[in-house]
Amino acid sequence: MSRHFVHDLEEAFHQLLELSGTVEQMIEQSIKALNSRDSQLAATVIASDEKIDRTEVQIEEECLKMLALHQPVATDLRRLTTMMKVNNDLEHIADLACGIAERADRLADYPAFCIPDLIERMAQQTVLQVRTGLNAFVHHDTSLAEQVIASDDDIDRMNGEVIQVLTGQMQTDANWIPPAIECFSAARSLEQIADHAVNVAEDVIYMVEGVIVRHRYGTRLSGHSDGTPPPGS
């Protein structure tokens, strides 16, 4: 491959990493805004989404240009397509973080409403998932990616528990229905963010091994011969 292509690819990769850093920060901030009911912080998160959108488009244009200009094959092609997909996932995650920030803004009107502790734990787990997924992407580490895919069930379970707690709150006092719905929505966003982290992890496996594991990860895990149990189980 030409030196130009390598240089362009590196450039786009670094841009993507910067984007991922910002997105990670956005998730963290939106969760902080939710817990502390900080409308100002929520507004900051929502404001940064515009920049994310711009960067996403920019990265995608770069990638398309590279595809057209250098027509990469094999590893380079996989890397480039994975970058495009991760780029897309990151943008979605940023949107979801904005969603959480909006919920935080609205929850600020209900200072007395008790946000379930579980949401905090779920948020921590979600941030960890996203971080691990991106680490897998950065270090080309499929074992980390598999870890992310395997622990997605935990998040789903936590989401179920959060919904149970919120339903309980709504049943005890009808006044809590609006804030509980906001909370519910935030938890759902977290769950979706975690799903995007799983997407990133699956893309990483594709990038490294050239195997598409989407929608059939269960068979892959059970088919593993090394016998190591998936972490988090």
Options 28, 60, 154, 161; binder of another protein; rule CB under 8 A: 28
Residue with Cβ nearer another protein (218 or 231): 231
Residue with Cβ nearer another protein (13 or 217): 13
Terminus-to-terminus CA distance in the chain, angstroms? 42
User: Per-residue string for binding with another protein, 153-182, x by CB under 8 A?
Assistant: ------------------------------
Other CB atoms within 10 Å distance of the CB of residue 183: 26
Cβ burial, residue 215 (10 Å; 0-12/13-18/19+): exposed
With b meaning 16 or more CB within 10 Å and e meaning fewer, what string describes 187-199?
Answer: bbbbbbbbbbbbb
Q: Which residues contact 185 (CB under 8 A, 6 or more apart)?
A: 99, 103
C-alpha torsion sign, points 36, 37, 38, 41: positive
31 near another protein, rule: CB under 8 A: yes
Options 17, 47, 177, 211; binder of another protein; rule CB under 8 A: 17
- Of 27-35, 69-77, 200-208, 221-229, the window that binds another protein (rule: CB under 8 A) is 27-35
Residue with Cβ nearer another protein (61 or 117): 117
Residues of span 79-118 touching another protein by CB under 8 A? 111-112, 114, 117
Distances (CA, A) of 224 to 122, 202, 218, 220: 29, 16, 10, 6
Q: Are 22 and 52 in contact (CB under 8 A)?
A: yes
Options 43, 138, 181, 221; binder of another protein; rule CB under 8 A: 138
Options 46, 127, 186, 201; binder of another protein; rule CB under 8 A: 127
Task: Give the separation between CA 27 and CA 30, rounded to whole angstroms.
Answer: 5
Options 24, 62, 95, 102; binder of another protein; rule CB under 8 A: 24
Site residue total, another protein (CB under 8 A): 27
State the residues that interact with another protein by CB under 8 A: 14, 17-18, 20-22, 24-25, 27-29, 31-32, 111-112, 114, 117, 120, 123-124, 127-128, 131, 134-135, 138-139
